[in-house]
Chains A and B, each alone.
Chain A
Amino acid sequence: MSGKDKVQIGLAVAEMVIEHGLPAALKILSTLDKDQMTLEEIKALGDRVPHPDTFEGE
C-alpha cells in the first residue's frame, strides 16, 4: 500500500470518527488490522446489517 493510499485511509477514518463516532471508527480500524478471517468470522457476517425496520422504535 502506497503512502498516498495510507493518507487516504487516514482521512477516511478521521471522517468516520467525526460522522459515526469513535466506537465505530475503532471497530473499523480493528477490522482493517486483520490479516485473516476465519470461516466462523465469515459466517458471523451474516448476523450483521439488520433490516432497517429493526431500528424503528429504538
Chain B
Amino acid sequence: MELFKIKELRDLGIMVLAVLCLLLVSCGAGFVTNAGKTLDVGATIYESGYPMFLDLHKKGLITDAQKAKGYDLAVKYWAAYHAAQTAHELYAEVDSAENKDKVTLAMQEMAKRLAELTAYIQPLIKEGN
C-alpha cells in the first residue's frame, strides 16, 4: 500500500509524512503495530507543533486570520485522528478484513489532514523562529 509518494510529500513541505508512510508499509512489525506507530508519531507532531503555532499568535507573529485557519485545520486533523484511532483499536480487538479496510481508509484521511495542518503551520513556525 502506498499512501503518498515521497516526492509529492516534499512538494507539500511535509517530509514527516514520508516517515509515517514508511512506518505503515514497512516490513517487520505487523500492520497493527505500524498503524499504531503512525498514529503515535502523528500525535507527537501535532502535540508539539500546534502549541508552537499558537505561541506565534501570542507573540503577535501571526494574524487572527492565520490562527483561525490553523485552528480549522487542527480540528479536521483531530477528528480524523480519533476516527483512525477508533478504527485501529477495533481492528486490534477484532481481526477482520472489513475492519482492516476501515483502518486503512481512516489512516489515509488522518495522514491527509495532518499533511494539510503541518504544511500550513510549519512554514509559519519556521518564519517565527
Q: Which residues of A does B touch, CB under 8 Å?
A: 1, 5, 8-9, 11-13, 15-16, 19-21, 23-24, 27-28, 31-32, 34-37, 39, 41-43, 45-46, 48-52, 55-56, 58
Q: B residues 77-119 with Cβ under 8 Å of A?
A: 77-78, 81-82, 85-86, 88-89, 92-93
Whether, in the assembled complex, B61 has its beta carbon less than 8 Å from a beta carbon of chain A, the answer is no
Q: B residues 53-71 with Cβ under 8 Å of A?
A: 54, 71
> Within the assembled complex, what's the spacing in Å between the Cα atoms of A33 and B64?
39
Residue of A nearest to B114 (CB): A49
**Closest Cβ–Cβ distance, residue B125 to chain A (whole Å):** 6
Q: Which residues of B does A touch, CB under 8 Å?
A: 6, 15-16, 18-19, 22-23, 26-30, 32-33, 36-37, 39-52, 54, 71, 74-75, 77-78, 81-82, 85-86, 88-89, 92-93, 122, 125-126
